A and B are shown apart, each in its own frame.
Chain A
Amino acid sequence: MGRPRWPRRVAAAVTLRIALLNTGPTARSRHQGVLLGVEEARHAAELFGGSVALEVIDHADAAATSAAAIIGDDDEGHCRSILAAHRPHAPLLMNVACASDVLRGAACSRRAFHVAPSDAMLRDARTSARGATDVVVWNSSLTRFGADTLNQRFRRRFGDPMTPTAWTAWFAVKVLWESALRMKSADPDKIADYLTRDTTRFDGHKGQPLSFRISDHQLRQPVYAHTAAGWVEASPASSAAGESASPTACRMPS
């Protein structure tokens, strides 16, 4: 039991700048998810002070953005080139659409945080949910743990169901805003520091606290398998396992 250091109000108002890489086959869904996340963050900013700015960029603009974080696209090559850029206070990459295990392994980065489930997680879920025809990170028919209110909020806003990449994009913005608010700073280094603490948790309307694994920055979360019984929750071993039980090829560069 302790006395948390969460702010009641942000003394020096935080201005969080987010860039969205708006390319690739899931661009529309990701854009919608980011918009809902930004609108909700702005609502919270009315209570606590601060502001949230969103810029929509092409891959060519990624190297020059002054945003604290880039919401990535489906292209693994784009993710790698964003992470290859080295400069002080370079933006974080919130990976919301690439499942590649390599991004969490040999090509891992201190600046990359993976909201999208990895290929390994999806494989695990398919194995554990026998007969599964599909495995996703989110579905618009989910109802438990407040999922219904989030799905309704999304549908009311856009007239579309909340797709898996809409959820990952929405959640990435939620993570960034909450981190900036609790750290009283939109500096990407400070946000990364907050995301890699043992005690940092987030609520993604999935019924359990979600956190990034420190060894490879993968979000530990349940996914959902479509079976004869409908959508059922599956907690992949590669997501839920603790640090020691999770062998990884990732060697975080210092």
Chain B
Amino acid sequence: MSVSARSTGPTPALLGLLLVAAAHTAGAQAKNLAFVSNEGSHDVSVIDLAKRAVVATIRLDGRARGIHVSPDNRFVYVATSDDRPAGESSADAIAVIDIASRRVVATHHIGSDPEQFAVTPDGRYIYASNEDGGTATAIDLRTGKRLASLVVGIEPEGVAVSADGRWIAVTSETSNSVSIIDAARHKVVDNLLVDLRPRAAAFSPDGSRLYVTAEIGGTLSVIDGKSHALLATVPIDKGNGKPVGVALSPDGRRIHVVSGRTGTLSVIDAATNHIVAVVPVGKRPWGVAVSHDGRFIYTANGLSNDVTVVDASTNRVIGRIPVGQRPWGIALTN
């Protein structure tokens, strides 16, 4: 296990001082924003959700994929990598964007080809999948130090953290598996098989369920959040959808799954696991996010280069926002 880490930018102490100064003015500005990672144009589109328009574009060093906002709304973390999966390069990193200044203020190098990751609810740690290494890496965001590199399945991909921060789930595409990590011990404690080519994962807000999409299987796996037993496998778009992104409504009553092949958003009743609506949203949607008030669903559509806005009360498309090239993921401020 390697514990070396390379982080660039201001020291954590200096970064803290800079950000405290900026925090007051940034607080209001940081509300109601969406950040979209654009894999093709190597940048992040900043969307003002009230205006439904891009208000800034932040350039990055590599293709941008996984993206999350810190729990305190101060940073956006973006996984970047070069175009060669094998071997680590300088572009393979988690870039830290300061929301107030809209600039990259630090980068964390956490192994080769980072794609998806999760930020723990206390904002202290990132867990990232290293696709060509068969590992998941944990880093301490305060120090930039790599805490653990854990063996998971082959071609690890999706990463999710439970709301209480206790469990991390990592999907692995080639081994069709999900590894469960005990966050307190930084240790893999369970593995389970799911359907073919698992991609994204998300816990329900109460932690009772873990949902995993399977792109080639065309299904959503429903997993018990505590026992980690597989409870059900739900076909998406009759098994033909190639589902990737998954996001829960804030109350946990709706599961939202986007499917690349069919270009649809499937809305699933979490109580029954039945699909209640299928909404055409755009070409190859992979990223999906739900507003914190639960009123809107946003999808990042990789081949139509836009974000679709869906009214959650009617499941109808109410807007489209052009962004950069090949949008991949989307993350919202609180």
Contact = CB atoms under 8 A, between A and B. Distances in A.
A and B form one complex: yes
Interface of A: 1-4, 6-9, 40, 43-44, 46-48, 146, 148-150, 152-153, 155-156, 174, 178, 181-182, 201-203, 205, 207-209
Contacts of B197: 146, 203
Given A8-B190, A48-B191, A203-B176, 11 more contacts: A1-B273, A7-B193, A8-B191, A44-B154, A47-B175, A47-B191, A146-B174, A153-B132, A201-B196, A208-B216, A209-B216
B86 A155 contact: yes
Interface in B234-252: 234-235
B283 interface: no
Given A2-B232, A153-B132, A47 B216 contact: no
B55 interface: no
Contacts of B325: none
B100 interface: no
A174 B175 CA distance: 9
7 contacts: A7-B193, A47-B153, A48-B193, A153-B132, A155-B86, A202-B196, A203-B196
B230 interface: yes
Given A8-B190, A43-B134, A3 B155 contact: no
B87 A43 contact: no
A232 B217 CA distance: 23
Given A1-B273, A156-B87, A149 B155 contact: yes
Given A6-B230, A203-B196, A149 B134 contact: no
Contact of B174 (A46, A181, A182, A203): A203
Contacts, number: 93
B233 interface: yes
Nearest to A181: B193
Contacts of B235: 1
A174 B151 CA distance: 19
B85 interface: yes
Contact of B131 (A8, A149, A182): A149
A2 B177 CA distance: 18
Contact of B177 (A3, A47, A156, A208): A47
A178 B191 contact: no
Contacts of B276: none
Interface in B147-198: 151-155, 173-177, 179, 188, 190-197
Interface string B193-213: 111110000000000000000
A146 B173 contact: yes
Contacts of A40: 154, 174-175
B48 to A, nearest CB: 35
Given A2-B232, A44-B154, A44-B175, A149 B193 contact: no
A47 B179 contact: yes
B196 A152 contact: no
Contact of B234 (A1, A44, A149): A1
Nearest to A145: B216
Contact of B192 (A8, A46, A205): A8
B52 interface: no
B229 interface: yes
Contacts of B132: 149, 152-153, 156
A201 B193 contact: no
Contacts of A155: 86
B210 to A, nearest CB: 13
Contacts of B196: 201-203, 209
B179 A1 contact: no
B228 interface: yes
Nearest to A6: B193
Contacts of B24: none
Nearest to A202: B196
A9 B231 CA distance: 16
Nearest to B190: A8
Contacts of B216: 201, 203, 207-209
